[in-house]
Amino acid sequence: MGAFSEENGALVIRFGGETLRIEPWGSDAIRVRARPGLKVVEPHVSALLDPASADGRVEIGDTGASLTVGRLRTEARIVARYGADVKRELVLRHVRADTGAELLAEARGHFAGPRTRNFKALASGSWKLEATFRAYDDEHLYGLGQPQHGQMDLKGVSTTLVQQNAHAVVPFVVSSRGYGMLWNNPAVGRAEFAQNLTRWTADACPGLDYWICAGDTPAEILRTYVAATGRSPQIPDWALGFWQCKLRYRTQDELMAVAREYRDRGLPLSCIVVDFFHWTRQGEWKFDPTEWPDPRAMVDELRAMGVETMVSVWPTVSASSEHYAMMVDAGHILTTERGVPVVIPFPDKDPFGPGFFTYYDAFHPGARDAHWEIVAANYVANGIDHFWLDACEPEMRPAHPEHVRTALGNGAEMLCAYPFLHEGRYREGLRAAGRDGVLLCRSAWAGSQRHGVILWSGDVWSDWDWFRAQIPAGLHAGMSGLGWWTTDIGGFYDGHGGSDDFRELLIRWFEFGVFSPICRLHGFRVPDGVPVPGPGEPVSYGQDTFNIFTDTGGPNEIWSYGAEVEAVLVALLQVREGLRPYLERTFAHYAETGDPVMAPLIYHFADATELHGEGGAYMLGPDLLVAPVTARGVDRMEVALPRGADWRHVWTGARHAGGTTATVDCPFGACPVFVRDGAAADFSGVFPALADD
């Protein structure tokens, strides 16, 4: 009996004690699964939807076989390894079916081994997996979720596949060689794109599982991926306006006073956010009635003002929670492998102060249902449609996933998918309730875009280095299918309202926020009265930050930083309001196609190969090129404009040819922004300098 066979349109290979299943999975796309033994198995959690019908052609020879789907062909051949631990090995190679050009091929790091697909047996039927591929000198890679390393090109980057605060894992990359690859595996591990080898690892998994597609442009590749993992819903129009948020509004009266102040000043406001510790205890998922006595009245008044309300809900559970005993008995919480609840130290509203909390188990369908039922009874019933799903990595201390036991198995095997399942149940519940809600999430996984989530870049620091890193972070998120994206304008930690440097940073970050998919002001500001640190001194909050979490940070409204800053931010808010029709069209197009709202220049100008790795400027929709000011004291910048279009500087109306470098002034409130010349008339109502078209 030969090693190769065709089974229901799939190429199945059994060789050397391993089984591979290679099958069509959408247009120009193939799914590859492998596992030691007699059959492959389905993963516990998969990002892939059932494929649309795709015709594949299986061809089988004596020492090899292939599967062709559209423009992609996967070739399998048995090769001899001289001087190797295993003498004969099955190796895969993915090529363009129309030209034969190699896209990606398996490779060994050393001729003696280990194999290209290296499985190390673990207990309970799992494997530690390492899959290695060739490295290509001319390759550029984008995606992989939302990193904070600040690199726009992933070539040369080694990174963890572990969900962490500010580091969201979506294991999908777009390659300049004309392929996209999804590591369809929720295990923790690593992805390494070295000069000599590309390597994906999983600490524990049921088998190899990846999906690969071919395309002529980054747009073709990303659209194919989004079709395979799910399209985003349409975003509600209100979400494209300005969001007000801070750590934290302590009471209903305090929050309403801020919203009314925006109204009385005539300032646009679309959403105001109720942050953490509005609750009684963690894991009770309800308003504290002493501080929030009438949430329904609050929501109704805000909605009458044209303002939506969002509430922060954490997946954490305190042992003091009224639900804790029930959840433990039902097996609804994460535990260690020996059954002890997994813990994170954090403060709570409990009078005993800081304590240890666990998480509900999002891998248990009964736990997801029970959690949602409590949320629906305490929030949705009070008119809350929009949820801030914070700490949903889940963020544990210490971060050792292999010590965690979920309802589906060991944490190392699946914890990357926690936010995917958590947010998915919210979307399901909101749809069943007839609510068009928005979810703001600190983590996401492959396919999260189909749940309609806004990924935000987490608790980043209020300094220029972190600010610069947010631009590639947002661009990689878009190249991972997540078009709904935002940051904390001004950064989260260590922003001091009395600091000249911070006020300048806030203005420049606000410029970026206005020209981002979602515009949201947030931060953990130093309380009033705490002295501004001197040069080289650390920022102080005046007391232990745990205490401030349960109290409040400093003010963070646009009038909080003095009249000069306020005037700039008010003008920028008007720009954001003027951009909303354009953003509505751009978000609608994203929902239809998967084209990112905020995209690298190379996405829209695929022939301009000099743009690979450019992460300081980006496209907002198809027509606006934005180059944020990311350093202190800058009032003039040079911006390289892509060939393939001519450009207008939106603040002066000056014309610039594509393929040239424009030198422009950038005073506060006017970071460099250019519009495609042919589209300038569409923006004349926002930017008066364009009105001569």
Give dist(CA 288, CA 640) in Å, integer: 53
Residue 115, preceding peptide bond in cis (omega within 30° of 0):
no
* More confident site: 147 or 400: 147
pTM over 0.85: yes
Q: Which residue out of 23, 153, 390, 423 is catalytically annotated?
A: 390
Task: Write down all domains in the chain, each with its CATH number in brackets.
Answer: 4-229 (2.60.40.1760), 237-313+365-395+408-586 (3.20.20.80), 590-690 (2.60.40.1180)
**For range 552-572, the mean pLDDT:** 97
Q: Which residue type does 159 have?
A: T
Q: Which of 125, 105, 104, 108 is nearest to 116 (CA)?
A: 108
Beta bridge partners of 29: 213
Strands of the sheet with 355-359, listed across from one edge: 316-318, 355-359, 344-346
Q: 454 falls in which pLDDT band (50, 70, 90)?
A: very high
User: At CA 160, angle to CA 158 and CA 165, rounded to 5?
Assistant: 125
Contact 484, 517 (CB under 8 A): yes
Instruction: Give me the sign of the Cα torsion angle 222, 226, 227, 233.
Output: negative
Report helix, strand or coil for 103. Answer: strand
Q: 124 falls in which pLDDT band (50, 70, 90)?
A: low
Per-residue confidence (pLDDT) for residue 692, from 0 to 100: 77
**For range 245-261, the mean pLDDT:** 97
**For range 583-587, the mean pLDDT:** 98
Q: Which residue out of 393, 413, 614, 677 is catalytically annotated?
A: 393
pLDDT digit string, tens, across residues 36-56: 999 999 889 999 999 987 789
pLDDT exceeds cutoff 80 at 331: yes
Contact 89, 115 (CB under 8 A): yes
Per-residue confidence (pLDDT) for residue 159, from 0 to 100: 97
Give the H/E segment covering residue 258: helix 252-264
Q: Which residue out of 203, 284, 395, 459 is catalytically annotated?
A: 459
- Tokens representing 464 are 């220029």
pLDDT exceeds cutoff 70 at 13: yes
Instruction: Give me the sign of the Cα torsion angle 682, 685, 689, 692.
Output: positive
- Tokens representing 197 are 């080898």
* More confident site: 108 or 48: 48
Give the H/E segment covering residue 519: strand 519-521
Q: 398 falls in which pLDDT band (50, 70, 90)?
A: low
pLDDT exceeds cutoff 90 at 255: yes
Contact 119, 126 (CB under 8 A): no
Task: Calculate the dihedral angle through the C-alpha atoms of 226, 228, 230, 232, rounding to the nearest 10 degrees.
Answer: 20
Q: How many CB atoms lie within 10 A of CB 509?
A: 28
Based on its alpha-carbon atoms, the radius of gyration of the chain, rounded to whole angstroms, reads 26
Q: Which residue type does 595 have?
A: D
User: At CA 348, angle to CA 346 and CA 354, rounded to 5?
Assistant: 50
Per-residue confidence (pLDDT) for residue 53, from 0 to 100: 73
Q: Kind of pairing, strands 179-183 and 4-7?
A: unpaired
Contact 271, 307 (CB under 8 A): yes
**For range 450-477, the mean pLDDT:** 98
pLDDT exceeds cutoff 90 at 343: no
Residue whose entry in the numeric block shows the structure tokens 């990112």: 596
Per-residue confidence (pLDDT) for residue 465, from 0 to 100: 98
- Tokens representing 174 are 């777009």
CA 28 to mean position of chain CA atoms: 25
Per-residue confidence (pLDDT) for residue 481, from 0 to 100: 98
Return phi, psi of residue 100, to 5°. 80, 0
Q: 383 falls in which pLDDT band (50, 70, 90)?
A: very high
Contact 309, 299 (CB under 8 A): yes
Give dist(CA 215, CA 387) in Å, integer: 36
Give dist(CA 665, CA 511) in Å, integer: 14
Return phi, psi of residue 296, to 5°. -60, -45
Residue whose entry in the numeric block shows the structure tokens 């809900």: 313
Give dist(CA 407, CA 333) in Å, integer: 9
Question: Own/partner pairs for 558-562, CB < 8 Å, 24+ apart?
Answer: 558/267, 558/521, 559/261, 559/265, 560/497, 560/525, 561/497, 561/503, 561/506, 562/503
Residues in the chain: 693
Per-residue confidence (pLDDT) for residue 551, from 0 to 100: 84
393 is catalytic: yes
**For range 318-339, the mean pLDDT:** 93
pLDDT exceeds cutoff 80 at 670: yes
Q: 253 falls in which pLDDT band (50, 70, 90)?
A: very high
459 is catalytic: yes
* More confident site: 124 or 514: 514
- Tokens representing 481 are 């299918």
Residue whose entry in the numeric block shows the structure tokens 């990357």: 416
584 is catalytic: no
**For range 414-418, the mean pLDDT:** 97
Q: Which residue type does 528 have?
A: D
Q: Kind of pairing, strands 168-175 and 141-146?
A: antiparallel
Give the H/E segment covering residue 192: strand 189-193
Give dist(CA 447, CA 427) in Å, integer: 13
Provide the mean pLDDT of the chain. Answer: 95
- Tokens representing 306 are 């044209």
- Tokens representing 692 are 């001569």
